Amino acid sequence: AQTVTQSQPEMSVQEAETVTLSCTYDTSENNYYLFWYKQPPSRQMILVIRQEAYKQQNATENRFSVNFQKAAKSFSLKISDSQLGDTAMYFCAPLFGNEKLTFGTGTRLTIIP
Amino acid sequence: DAGVTQSPTHLIKTRGQQVTLRCSPKSGHDTVSWYQQALGQGPQFIFQYYEEEERQRGNFPDRFSGHQFPNYSSELNVNALLLGDSALYLCASSLAQYGYTFGSGTRLTVV
């Protein structure tokens, strides 16, 4: 079975600081995709960043970047210069060969003014 | 650019009743997936539709059924509602592995 683990149920940081959310997963597949989604109180699931497993270069989207360690099956999200609008639930979600997203349990991130 | 549209936004049903939730995918997307998200949990996969057929299914009972129409829109039906079916139901559309676009969900409350 393919599992996804987010070991940090809650995190909080001061505005403008950097925070890293962790995610590990288990799969026997070699080619897959990895996503981080953000879910604010409005409940809309918003795509934050995407990583292809066959790419060694870590993906970056403005203040968001990932540290992808394929051998370790680790996919962490780093948020730099955190802003109040980053307050949300964050979900790690791999997309394996069966083409369905598998979500972790989420990390509730609070940015403190 | 219209994203994924779900209706209704909120719904209250009585135990034992039946409910239908609707989803219109993002323009250009041909695959629709449904997820159930209990309070404080990650979304759980219910099923996925492609070319009007159920392509795969998660660990949900047969009370959960769906349909996809020729215009790619989709319905999720739940029969014989239980209190435990209360959740946020999310619809996501996709085109291959380019990422899923989610709707804002339908909040179902069973009383």
CA distance A6 to chain B (A): 10
**Which residues, including other chains, have CB under 8 Å from residue B71's CB and lie 6 or more apart?**
none
B101 with A47: Cβ contact below 8 A? yes
- State residue A30's pLDDT score: 87
Q: What is the DSSP string of B35-77?
A: EEE-TTS--EEEEEEETTEEEEE-S--TTEEEEE-TTS-EEEE
CA distance A56 to chain B (A): 18
User: Who wins on pLDDT, B7 or A29?
Assistant: B7
Residue A91 forms contact with B (CB below 8 Å): yes
The answer to whether A45 and B90 have CB atoms below 8 angstroms apart is yes
CA distance B33 to chain A (A): 8
Q: Which residue of B has its CA nearest to A92?
A: B42
Using pLDDT thresholds of 50, 70 and 90, give the confidence band for residue A1: low
Give residue for tokens 């539709």: B49
Residue A31 forms contact with B (CB below 8 Å): no
Task: Say how many CA atoms lie within 13 Å of B80 toward its Cβ.
Answer: 5
A102 with B45: Cβ contact below 8 A? yes
- State residue B95's pLDDT score: 83
- State residue A112's pLDDT score: 97
Residue A18 forms contact with B (CB below 8 Å): no
CA nearest to B106, candidates B5, B3, B4, B10: B10
Mean pLDDT of A69-95: 96
Residue B97 has pLDDT above 70, yes or no: no
Residue A7 has pLDDT above 90, yes or no: yes
CA distance B47 to B58: 6
**Which residues, including other chains, have CB under 8 Å from residue B93's CB and lie 6 or more apart?**
B4, B23, B25, B26, B29, B31, B32, B33, B72, B100, B101
Mean pLDDT of A36-65: 92
Count helices and strands (H / E) in chain B. Answer: 0, 11
Q: How many CB pairs under 8 A join A and B?
A: 55
Beta-bridge partner residues of A79: A19, A64
A45 with B48: Cβ contact below 8 A? no
pLDDT digits (tens, 9 = 90+) for B34-90: 999 999 899 999 999 999 999 999 999 999 999 999 999 999 999 999 999 999 999
Residue A101 forms contact with B (CB below 8 Å): yes
Residue A43 forms contact with B (CB below 8 Å): yes
